[in-house]
Structures are given as C-alpha cells and as structure tokens.
Amino acid sequence: MKKFLIWMRVLLSTALACLVVFAYSPAVFAFCGFYVSQADASLFNKASQVVIARDGKRTVLTMANDYQGDVKDFALVVPVPVLLKKEQVRIGEQKIIDRLDSFSAPRLVEYFDSDPCARYEAYDRVTLGATRSSAAPATEAKTRGGNYQVTIEAKFAVGEYDILILSAKDSDGLESWLIDNDYKIPQGAKEILQPYIRQNMKFFVAKVNIAELNKTGSQSLRPLMMAYESPKFMLPIRLGMLNANGDQDLLVYILSPKGQAEVANYRTIKVPSGDDIPVYVKNEFGDFYKSMFKTSYEKEGRKVAFLEYAWDMSSCDPCSAEPLSQEELRKAGVFWIGAPDINTSSGGRIRRPIPFPSNDGRVFVTRLHIRYNRDKFPEDLTFKETSNQESFQGRYVLRHAFKGETSCDAGKEYQRSLRPRFEKEAKTLARLTGWNIADIRRKMNIASLPTPVEKPFWENIWK
C-alpha cells in the first residue's frame, strides 16, 4: 500500500505539471516534452513536393521542380483539365513549401522521467525544443505544326519558364511534336499520353528560358503555380514514372477549408505513430524513419498512401514549427481567406475577403506520403475532400530514464522496471524497422540493467 501511494503521488505530480502548462501557457507549449528531430522531405533522395489548395471545384496547384541536371534539358509536361491562360499561372516560393514541410513533418519527441523518490514536487519543465511582364502575349490563334494534329492553345512566359498549352488528337502526334520541337521527353511517352487525350485534357508544357533564369540569380528552378476550376481533383503522376529508375517519393500537402483529404483510388492509412522507441534513435532518426516507412510500405502491399499529418492550421498542439501566417497561406494558394484575386477561369476572379481564422476561413492541412513506381501505381492519384477534422501526426517518443540517486523504495522499484521497459522498446523498434533485435539490445546496453525479481504474490497483497 505504501508503494502504491508513492507511485500515485509521483503520477499526480507529473500530471499536475502538465495541467499547469495547459492552464498558463499558449497552445504551442501545451505539451510535456519537446521535439528533437523531424523527418522532412530532405530524407528522401527522389522526393517531389506538391501543394494543392482546394475549395469546391477551385484548385491552386503548386509544383516544386526537383529537376537534377542541366536546366537547358528541363522539360515539364503536365496534363491539366482545363485550358490555362497566362493570368492563371504564377511563380511560387520554395520557402513556403519548405514551411509546410517543416510544419507537418513526422517528428521525434523526448520526455524525461522525474525523480521517483520525489513525493510532492511538481514536474513542470517544458522545452520547445516565406511574372515576367515582358512575356510573349498569350495568343488565342491556333497554330498547327505539320501533320502532328497538335494545337498550340496558348503561349506565354512566366518567370524563367516558357510555357505552351497544347491539345492533341493522338499521342503519336503529340510525342513527335514534342521531340521535334526539342522537348526532351522519355521514350514510351505516347502510351501514357493517350489516356489524357481521350479525356480531352490539355497539356501544360514548360521549358527553361536560360536568360531569364540568370536574371533571377537563382541556382534552382522556382515552383510553378496554376489556378483553375474543374470537378477533377487529381494529380497526374504516370508521366513522371517514365523518368524513374525505381521507387519515387511524393509528398502532397492538401489545404482545405473542410477537413482531411484522402486518396480516393488507393487506400489511405495512417503512418505508424505514438510508439516509445530507444533513446539512442535520437542520433539515428533519419535512418529510423526511412526504415520504418519502407517496412510499412512493404507490409501494406506497396499500394497505399500514408497519412503523415492532419491538423487545423489555426492552431497546433504541439507545434514543431510555427503555423503558417495568413500571408504565407495566401502564397501557398489559399484563396478563401481574403487572398488577392486569383483567376481560375476566363469568367472572372475569386474575391473572398473572409477573416482568418473564422470557421468559414479555416485551413486544414493534410500531408500524404506516396511511394510509387510503374508497377504498383497504374493510375493517377485522385483525391476526395472529407469533413473529418480529426487531428493526427506521425510522432515517435523517447523516454529518458532518471539518472539521479534512487535509494528510496519507489526508486528501487523504478530501477527494476527499466529492463522490461527497455526490452519492450527494443522489440517495438525491431518490429517497426526490421532491424536486428540483438543489435538494438547491444546499443541499448540492456544486459547491464538489473533483472526484475518476481516476488511471491502474497507479498503484494499483505504489504
């Protein structure tokens, strides 16, 4: 009974500390622990990033171009559901995508055990561990090239990009036209292009204007943004597979006023989250997350989209980075919170000066991580909006053992509890990653811990 009371007091003192933090600190501090690392896009060598701001049929799509090689060979061909005009295309900011990545990335968090011998002390430490005006005018005249049956629907320049909007009658003609006009596209593109032509989709085609790129002083290509209205809520990924020599990672950040977004034509599941893992992973978090993701990906049959984060942008608890400001959200394409005019069709402009963060002006961010290849993802991604506002984050916990003197009865009991606790963490890490459990135990030095002695059951009753 005495031991029970001691443990209850320790538990209550820790709980009291959390309640104190909840009562007197902003939401960003309402968390007994702190972040030490993140699994952002930089972990994956072939990661593409796309931001989709979607409300109803209106979409603002931002693509980060991770092209590697000589930019003069860059050619971007994206099927789009509508005919885009110059005023519907803009240059985006990579730092905004980086902010979304940092805000929503799976993260590692650590706690520190309090002194098991302390009876009344409150544990209240909490650390909390961003268009070219001289462009050629868009033309409505349809220019036909030879017998390709390809129509140039629009032609303009935005920033360092020279852009064409094309339509085509067949994929053979479109592929030949692109090749003959010095667009370097992968072999076998015509088989992929044909389904889009059958759907009467247009083709957004971009090349880099080297002179304009040099004017920007940038060493990398800036993101491209396009705004349009269409009932199709989709992302074409099959053309990108032609450039791939293996698995590719795609991070999609979907911004919606309603709630979570899901992939409609493949399963959407949550990434494993909330597990306690050994503290040494603090120095190996990148390797841990890549192994954990690969294990989950293979276990689920390689045909799934993983939910890594879902949260209302107006607040976060906890935050690994500050939520995006209203201005940053506008730059990310969010047009329903009083953003400047965004033209999504030839019929007019959107102007909805809604104050933020009212219920009508909320922004819910969903982070989806898709690993795909030619064999496992035969279809483009289609999405659906939902009203589900359940919060979720990929989060992994380190619990540091108390290092001080533990000579009291509760302290001795605490020391005996560490070995089974660490063994459970080792098994969890092995299950999540597929790593060898003997190696894990060795790194944790479990063998040096005292072995719990099982006492006769009546001692626990009569004391």
Q: Which neighbouring-strand residues pair with 208?
A: 161
CB of 156 within 8 A of CB of 138? yes
From first to last of the 463 residues of the chain, give the pLDDT tens digit.
444 444 344 333 333 233 222 222 222 222 334 545 677 777 666 678 999 999 999 999 999 876 767 777 787 889 999 999 999 999 999 999 999 999 999 999 999 998 888 743 433 333 333 333 333 333 333 344 457 889 999 999 999 999 999 999 988 888 889 888 888 777 777 788 888 999 999 999 998 888 888 887 776 789 999 999 999 999 988 776 666 567 888 999 999 999 999 999 999 999 999 999 999 999 999 999 999 999 999 998 878 999 999 999 887 766 778 889 999 999 999 999 864 444 444 444 433 333 333 446 789 999 999 998 777 677 889 999 999 999 999 999 999 998 888 888 888 888 889 999 999 999 999 999 999 999 999 999 887 776 665 565 555 555 5
User: Taking Cα atoms as reference points, which of 150, 152, 154 lies closest to residue 86?
Assistant: 154
* Dihedral sign of CA atoms 82, 88, 93, 98 in order: negative
Dihedrals φ, ψ of 404, to 5°?
-85, -170
- Residue 433's alpha-carbon distances to 3, 294, 462, in angstroms, are 37, 8, 44
> What tokens were used for 75?
């050619």
DSSP β-ladder status, 304-312 and 267-270: parallel
Peptide bond into 357 cis (omega under 30): yes
pLDDT at 378: 73
Residue 365 identity: V
Confidence at residue 5, expressed as pLDDT on a 0 to 100 scale: 41
Report the relative pairing of strands 34-38 and 381-385 from DSSP bridges. unpaired
CB 254 within 8 A of CB 197: no
Gap between the Cα atoms of 139 and 155, Å rounded = 6
> Six-digit token pair at 8?
């209850």
How far is it between the farthest Cα atoms of the chain?
A: 97
Whose CA is closest to 98, among 335, 334, 390, 322? 322
- Measured from the Cβ of residue 172, the count of other Cβ atoms closer than 10 Å reads 14
Task: Kindly state the helix (H) or strand (E) to which residue 3 belongs, with its residue range.
Answer: helix 2-24
Edge-to-edge, what's the strand order for the sheet holding 143-144?
75-80, 202-208, 161-168, 150-158, 143-144
> Which residue matches tokens 């094309």?
166
Q: From the centroid of its chain, how far is CA 287? A: 18
Map out the domains of the chain as residue ranges.
2-129+131-462
Q: What's the rounded Cα separation, in Å, for the pair 425 and 279?
A: 9
Judge contact between 308 and 104, C-beta under 8 A. yes
Q: Measured on CA atoms in the order 128, 99, 296, 47, is the torsion positive or negative?
A: negative
Helix, strand or coil, per DSSP, at residue 148: coil
Query: Is-contact 78 228, C-beta < 8 A?
Result: no
Q: Cα–Cα distance between 98 and 302 in angstroms, integer?
A: 27
For residue 341, how far is the Cα from the chain centroid? 27
Tell me which H or E stretch contains 228: strand 224-229
- Residue 422 — left, alpha, or beta (φ > 0 → left; ψ -120 to 50 → alpha)? alpha
Residue 114 near residue 404, CB atoms below 8 Å:
no
Q: Where are the alpha helices (DSSP H) in 281-408?
A: 285-299, 326-331
In this prediction, residue 458 carries a pLDDT of: 55
**DSSP class of residue 451?**
P
Confidence at residue 342, expressed as pLDDT on a 0 to 100 scale:
45
Q: Where are the beta strands (DSSP E) in 322-389?
A: 342-345, 348-350, 364-372, 381-385
Closest CA to 253 of 357, 102, 101: 101
Please tell me the predicted confidence (pLDDT) of residue 180.
87
Crossing angle (nearest 10°) for helices 437-444 and 409-433: 150
Cis before 79 (ω within 30):
no
